[in-house]
Amino acid sequence: MDLLGKIWIVGPCSAESVEQVLATSQALPPGIIFRAGVWKPRTNPNTFQGAGMRALPWLQATRRPTATEVATSEHIHAAVQAGIQYLWIGARTAANPIAVQMLADTLATLPQRPTVLVKNPVNEDAALWLGNIHRLERAGVPVMAIHRGCNHKPCWRMAFELRRQRPDIPLLLDPSHMSGDAKRITELCKKALELEYNGFMIEVHPDPKNALSDSLQQITPKQLTLIIHHLQDHPVPTNDPIELRWRRAEIDELDDQLWSTILRRMQVSDAIGKLKKSQHLPTLQPKRWQQLVDYRRAWAKENGLPTELIDQILEAIHKVSLDRQQ
């Protein structure tokens, strides 16, 4: 299968059993690197925490190049001993420079250095992502960067910063963690092709509904094959200069934030409306409204925005808020 000249790191969120690992691997096209988490950084301690050490031979049984997440020195030694050539540093570990330095120090002692995939930290922080990459490079390991977004959203601005500062490092997209939603994988893969990413990390499970972790975002191997065919048959437009394509992605990201903020503002205002009703207070509170307008106008002046823009937008938002409260 033509993999579009990209790096593909594909497999389940977690290695659950030898059967699940082999069923997934056997259904995937040749040429991919097989991924599966063995030690899982889960939010809730009552959920599946990964199969641990005993899952390492399952990965080896795929007879593919393999990748797994490491968060401690012990993980690194065990994974490397089990023949795993690619290690990734997860978003939660990537938020802690002391933890990353400890991993780098361990990697520096190995006679054979695995390739390390560095996810962006959980919070939007290009400098920390770059700093982690630097720590690993100083340890002498080959590095790739994985953009997995923050809070189930892409951070194109952060990824562009990384691309600008380190155009020499392969940059991969992880649409699974970026969206948390299997339905959005195709659209995000297209975006990655448009922005000239070097590859993908995608979560694939033979039975996503019953996956022990990240069940909403995993797709079947068959779905992945269909996505790859779709990408082959529908080349993305790449006529515009690359910087323009990145800047447009940034605008889309900001618009998403703007509109979700307006939506959340409406929801808070609805709650205020209910409170006012229950307390028999009038919906329109002119003094409060005037304070809000004055404050925002002064802010606009300081930041070089025309006050008419503030007036128009605030007026429009306020009108809808009042209508909803009544």
Contact residues for ligand PEP, defined by CB under 6 A: 13, 37, 41, 69, 90-92, 119, 148, 177
Cβ-closest position to ligand PEP: 90
Rounded to a whole number of angstroms, the minimum distance from the CB of residue 89 to ligand PEP is 8
Q: Which does 75 bind (CB under 5 to 8 A by kind): Mn ion, ligand PEP, none?
A: none
- The binding site for Mn ion (CB under 5 A) comprises 13, 214
Rounded to a whole number of angstroms, the minimum distance from the CB of residue 307 to ligand PEP is 43
Nearer residue to Mn ion within complex by CB, 195 or 212: 212
Sorted by sequence, the CB contacts under 8 Å of residue 5 that are 6+ apart come out as none
Q: Which does 273 bind (CB under 5 to 8 A by kind): ligand PEP, Mn ion, none?
A: none
Nearer residue to Mn ion within complex by CB, 194 or 203: 203
Nearer residue to ligand PEP within complex by CB, 37 or 206: 37
Render the burial of 13-23: b for 16+ CB within 10 Å, e for the rest.
bbbbebebbee
Nearer residue to ligand PEP within complex by CB, 139 or 204: 204
Give me 267's structure tokens: 């929801």
In a 13 Å sphere around the CA of 115, the CA atoms on its Cβ side amount to 14
Rounded to a whole number of angstroms, the minimum distance from the CB of residue 176 to ligand PEP is 7
Q: Is 14 helix (H, G, I), strand (E, B) or coil?
A: strand
Give me 86's structure tokens: 């690619």
Q: Which does 245 bind (CB under 5 to 8 A by kind): Mn ion, ligand PEP, none?
A: none
Q: Which does 148 bind (CB under 5 to 8 A by kind): Mn ion, ligand PEP, none?
A: ligand PEP
Nearer residue to ligand PEP within complex by CB, 171 or 310: 171
Q: Is 37 helix (H, G, I), strand (E, B) or coil?
A: strand
Structural contact between residues 26 and 223, judged by C-beta atoms closer than 8 angstroms = no
Q: How far is CA 9 from the centre of its chain?
A: 15
Q: Which does 119 bind (CB under 5 to 8 A by kind): Mn ion, ligand PEP, none?
A: ligand PEP
Based on DSSP, count helices (H) and strands (E) in the chain, helices before strands.
Answer: 12, 8
Rounded to a whole number of angstroms, the minimum distance from the CB of residue 92 to ligand PEP is 6
Nearer residue to ligand PEP within complex by CB, 41 or 306: 41
| Interatomic CA distance for residues 34 and 32, integer angstroms | 6
Rounded to a whole number of angstroms, the minimum distance from the CB of residue 12 to ligand PEP is 9
Nearer residue to ligand PEP within complex by CB, 184 or 297: 184
Rounded to a whole number of angstroms, the minimum distance from the CB of residue 152 to Mn ion is 12
Structural contact between residues 131 and 121, judged by C-beta atoms closer than 8 angstroms = no
Closest Cα to residue 35, out of 20, 7, 17, 14?
A: 14
| Interatomic CA distance for residues 262 and 268, integer angstroms | 10
Rounded to a whole number of angstroms, the minimum distance from the CB of residue 301 to Mn ion is 46
Structural contact between residues 40 and 213, judged by C-beta atoms closer than 8 angstroms = yes
Give me 312's structure tokens: 């128009």
Q: Which does 206 bind (CB under 5 to 8 A by kind): ligand PEP, Mn ion, none?
A: none
